[in-house]
Amino acid sequence: MLGSRSDAEDVVQEVFTHYFQLDQDKIEHSKSYLIRMTTNHCLNLQGSAYKRKESYVGEWLPEPSVLYDDGASHDPALLWDKNETVTYAMLVMLEHLGPVERAVFLLRETLSYEYAEIGDILGKSEAACRKINSRAKQKLHADKPAPAFNHERAGAMAQAFIKAAETGNTETLLSILTEDAVLLSDGGGKARSAILPITGRRRILAFFAGLHRKGRFENGFLPAVVNGQAGMVLLSEQSPHMILTFRWDKKGEKIEAVYIVVNPEKLKHVTKRNAILS
């Protein structure tokens, strides 16, 4: 709903603080009540969040949620996170929606609520919610179902991408990226990053070649699950310094978008990890 882990934590705390001050015996359906409260808190917060984004330096990307992964883990919690989390690529796309569109889309497409239930939560008619969701899906080009996401293949492609960037292997990078691929980098004015999107695989190639020459990859990457999809954590002095993740094309064969987060404010919650580097 918010694209910000810290804002989400604040909302949850506010909702539960308020909830436990109520006479709960008078609440017939606690889950529905909590979801309505949470949704409305998020909608209220979106106004101030929009103003912050207007004055943001460079591209604004959602805060990444990171779990470390060796690529072969069968931990049920990790598998659940992979399968159930809204992917990072989807979080980026959700920024194209207005607050109400975003709420309707997530309640319907992620939590599988009926339109009548969504209408009750938002104070709108069932027909209005159906129309809002249809408009949201058109904006996201989500009217056609995407092919099943293959985590193993995505992980292998992410590893190949990073290996190519680390070694400066241009041919491999060219084969992995789509012709019109785009790179978005979020430094928030607090870390060096590309202020504007970098479009085209040749320009993205030049960007990573520059990082390679400057020794930015010397400490290596750790494979990670970033919001349920394959990604990487770049270390600097054994601390997380950069998060990379990707959006795949419809066939799941190439990368069509690269997302980089280096804003230290958005990496505070990413923990250190003692593991073998790539």
- 217-226, 232-241, 244-253: which is most confident: 244-253
Instruction: Give the mean model confidence (pLDDT) for residues 51-66.
Output: 85
Q: How far apart are CA 178 and CA 158, in angstroms?
A: 14
Range list for CATH 3.10.450.50 in the chain: 151-266
Q: Is the pLDDT of residue 80 over 70?
A: no
203 vs 148, residue with greater confidence: 203
Tens of pLDDT, residue by residue over 116-133, are 999 999 999 999 999 999
The pTM for the full model equals 0.80
Between 87 and 220, the higher pLDDT residue: 87
**Top CATH class, 151-266:** alpha beta
Residue range 17-47, pLDDT digits in tens: 999 998 888 888 888 889 999 999 999 888 7
Q: Which amino acid is at 235?
A: L
Query: Across all residues in the chain, what is the average pLDDT?
Result: 82
Question: CA torsion angle for 138, 230, 244, 58 (degrees, to 10)?
Answer: 20
Q: What is the pLDDT of residues 194-222, one digit of tens each?
A: 889 999 999 998 888 888 888 777 777 78
Least confident range from 68-77, 138-147, 203-212: namely 68-77
Q: What string of DSSP letters covers 30-68?
A: HHHHHHHHHHHHHHHHHHHHHHHHHT-SS---PPPPEEE
Per-residue pLDDT at 145 exceeds 50: no
The distance from CA 72 to its chain's CA centroid, rounded to whole angstroms, is 22
**What is the predicted pLDDT for the residue at 151?**
62
Range 81-103 average pLDDT? 81
Amino acid, res. 259: Y
Q: What are phi and psi of 31, to 5 degrees?
A: -60, -50
If 0-12 CB within 10 Å is exposed, 13-18 middle and 19+ buried, where does residue 51 land? exposed
* Rounded-to-10 torsion of CA 186, 187, 192, 195: 50
Q: For the chain, state the CA radius of gyration.
A: 20
Tokens of 272: 């250190």
**Helix, strand, or coil here: 110?**
helix
pLDDT tops 80 at residue 85: no
CA distance 254 to 237: 32
Residue 19 buriedness (CB in 10 A; 0-12 / 13-18 / 19+): middle
Question: Cβ atoms within 10 A of the Cβ of 272, count?
Answer: 12
Instruction: Output the six-digit token pair for 49.
Output: 């969040």
Share of the chain above pLDDT 90, in %: 30
Residue 249 class from Cβ within 10 Å (0-12 exposed, 13-18 middle, 19+ buried)?
middle
For 272-276, what is the mean pLDDT?
A: 49
Question: Sorting pLDDT into bands at 50, 70 and 90, what band is 275?
Answer: very low
Give the pair of three-digit tokens for residue 116: 């009548």
- pLDDT value at 72 more than 50: no
CA angle at 29 for the pair 26 and 35, rounded to the nearest 5°: 115
Q: Is the pLDDT of residue 71 over 60?
A: no
Q: How far apart are CA 267 and CA 64, in angstroms?
A: 8
Q: Which of 142-151, 213-222, 234-243 has the lowest mean pLDDT?
A: 142-151
| pLDDT value of position 104 | 95
Residue 149 has pLDDT above 70, yes or no: no
Identify the burial level of 47 via C-beta atoms within 10 angstroms of its C-beta, where 0-12 means exposed, 13-18 middle and 19 or more buried: exposed
Strands 177-186 and 255-261: parallel
Q: What are phi and psi of 199, to 5 degrees?
A: -110, 135
